[in-house]
Structure 1
């Protein structure tokens, strides 16, 4: 068994194909097939099932995939430790990011500092819904992920805190109020933002013994804003997920705080920060400092 075989196995599992894995790794498809076949023969198990359209990992292969990622992660940490000792900054850090809060507001500021300090470190960013990022960290597909805190399953580094706000068309009946309650919002057609927002919003209503009148469920924030702008319903979203300068970009949308205020914390999650590679630990420390300089949303008074 070699590290190369494990790397190829992980890539085939993630890309769900021999051809796509070969293209990503820069090797021939026959080399990929040979590596998987040799690994299966050595372990005397079937790791993948070759379908017509894609390659699926077997149940046992899925369990061994976690081991493979763990081994490769430790190997990368050893390489980075050695590089640091030689005065070099080399290696790879894999980051899982979700939505505009992390991808558009936190990551650029953090990466600006990280890239200046560690230009030799390769950065790989995978973007997906909140739940997917959490699963990627659990499966060791990424080294660090952005997530809503708290989460007792992981080591965490808190970064920013914001509040959930109501979005209303500017001439909506509730827009005249300085703040709105969930009871008031529950009486109007509701646009439920998916991609993680619903996991915050739905429990908020449930805890108050309420159920919003969901008219639409939308995965894209731009669509949610468009529907609110046209008066098709009201919505609730985290303030940091909204575009900068909402007053200029969406002048027909009124943003109002909830009463009582509902807060959200966003930070980083790790399987084991103490045992992480030097680049991952450096990213965590840089993120902790850089997040303090992130422009906070203009606080809305209740």
Structure 2
């Protein structure tokens, strides 16, 4: 069975190599015919019946239109100017002035060798898609955050660095059509470490949620990056089961407040973005957080 597959693979490789060689020969044979592609330089360029400006025009072309032209230039029958033979379609064949068309190939300065014409490449390349400013582009992604979460418990101020995961939404159109916003939704299924380190006599269970929405105001804005500050609202919700001695306490709290921050974002490959933020939360307690997010345009 293995030998059979080897034979089949060998046959496939031979057939593929043969087809590639045939295609290459076909391409080279086409090159030797003496034709090339040309791009029309100006709208209204005339195609003449004969190689003379006094000849009757038989068609007019549009700027950037691609046509088939000869490699050779022909002197005008009356001695004024040079012309390419041109084939627009099966019905329109004639001559066009060499100043009205950009040829695909050009000769090198000190030899008869031909090379790709850079002017042709420049004229026929597709224009880059115009991008919206980064501030007004909508992005969606995932983020990782380290929050120095702080609470007051029994007249004690407790805080610890807590890892959180969540979603990042950035740009206009989420709540207000033309207003660029920065929205975070962060979740931790692990309670802050200070519960077990300073209060609990058994492992604490539960989760907490932090969410905020802020207006982004740039002070450095380039086509593919932005540095900004943000101001907005924040809210947090905690739900923990805390064991102290023989007592189980159900600790739930919802807090709202304000949030401000500094951030920087960069986009690449025209579609993806990466963003980092520092935020300061001001609610019943005050604390800081650091966020890193990655996502895509949509």
What interval of TM-score do these two structures reach, taking the shorter chain for normalisation? under 0.3
Higher relative contact order (CA 8 A, sep 6+): 1
The structure in which a higher percent of residues are helix is: 1
Q: When you count strand as a share of all residues, which structure comes out higher?
A: 2
Q: Given the two structures, how large is their TM-score scaled by the length of structure 2?
A: 0.20
Indicate the structure (1 or 2) with the bigger Cα radius of gyration: 2
